[in-house]
Amino acid sequence: MERTVHVNCDDIFPFCELMPITDTCIVVYMWHLYRKMQEKMLLKDFKLVDPVPVEYVPSKNQNIDFIQEQLNKRASYLSSRLIGTSTGQLVVVPCNIGFHWILTILNVEKEIVYLLDPLRHRIHDQDWKYVVNMALTLYNAEAGRKGKKQPTWEVVKAPRQPDAKQCGFYIMRYMKDIIENFGVGDKESLPSMFTNLKYSLVEINEVRSEWAECMLDYI
């Protein structure tokens, strides 16, 4: 899928200062990963989902019907991205759930949802859980298969961010590690692939450097 991404100073300055980053920064890094996947013939193993249509929608002072409508829109978009998923392919979904980034990995075939949250090792956002579960239900209906009553959710104890600002960088690093180091035969062991409590600054700077190099191609 193609779309135009405009990167401006409001995106770049926080990125340079290790501050909370925008969805634009995440999308640019996903474009970098997509090109790496093409080079290494990994497109059959992973599918990336644009985080913007599935992200949190502020609902302050909104009625219940509006909130439900937004949740269903997010689920509908995610479901549309699941269509055409090949056997064994993992769907990689970064999502901003409201001033915080998390990563969700979907094994659509087995209806297993892996959650990677750099702030807490538990399922915290029930709205996001609803969106993902509903997306899988819609996908099953479209595919004409029965599916499970409820998907299986597994929390992956990945490295945890050292402050309240670096969640976006940690999500970028999660995606890099999973895509570069995860073979088709290893997918069952995703919950145990991370062993360190946190990333070093060198590891975070590695993805920041890749992001910057990707941007230089378009300046």
Model pLDDT, residue 184: 47
pLDDT string in tens for the chain (219-residue length): 788 899 999 999 999 999 999 999 999 999 999 999 999 999 999 999 999 999 998 766 678 888 889 999 999 999 999 999 988 899 999 999 999 999 999 999 999 999 999 998 888 889 999 999 999 999 999 988 888 889 999 999 999 999 999 999 999 999 999 998 875 445 557 888 888 999 999 999 999 999 999 988 777
Spacing of C-alpha 83 from chain mean position: 17
Tell me if 133 is assigned to some domain. Answer: no
Tell me if 75 is assigned to some domain. Answer: no
Tell me if 26 is assigned to some domain. Answer: yes
Q: Is 139 exposed, middle or buried (0-12, 13-18, 19+ CB in 10 A)?
A: buried
- Residue whose token pair is 């290893």: 186
Contact between residue 172 and residue 133 where contact means Cβ atoms under 8 Å apart: no
Model pLDDT, residue 206: 97
Tell me if 134 is assigned to some domain. Answer: no
pTM of the full predicted structure?
A: 0.92
Model pLDDT, residue 123: 83
Question: How many domains does the structure of the chain reveal?
Answer: 1
Tell me if 167 is assigned to some domain. Answer: yes
Tell me if 20 is assigned to some domain. Answer: yes
Tell me if 17 is assigned to some domain. Answer: yes
Query: What is the three-class DSSP state of 13?
Result: helix
CATH of the domain at 21: 3.40.395.10
Model pLDDT, residue 217: 78
Tell me if 212 is assigned to some domain. Answer: yes
Which domain does 173 fall in, by range?
9-49+85-122+153-216
Residue 86 is given by DSSP the state P
Distance CA 121, CA 138 (A): 28
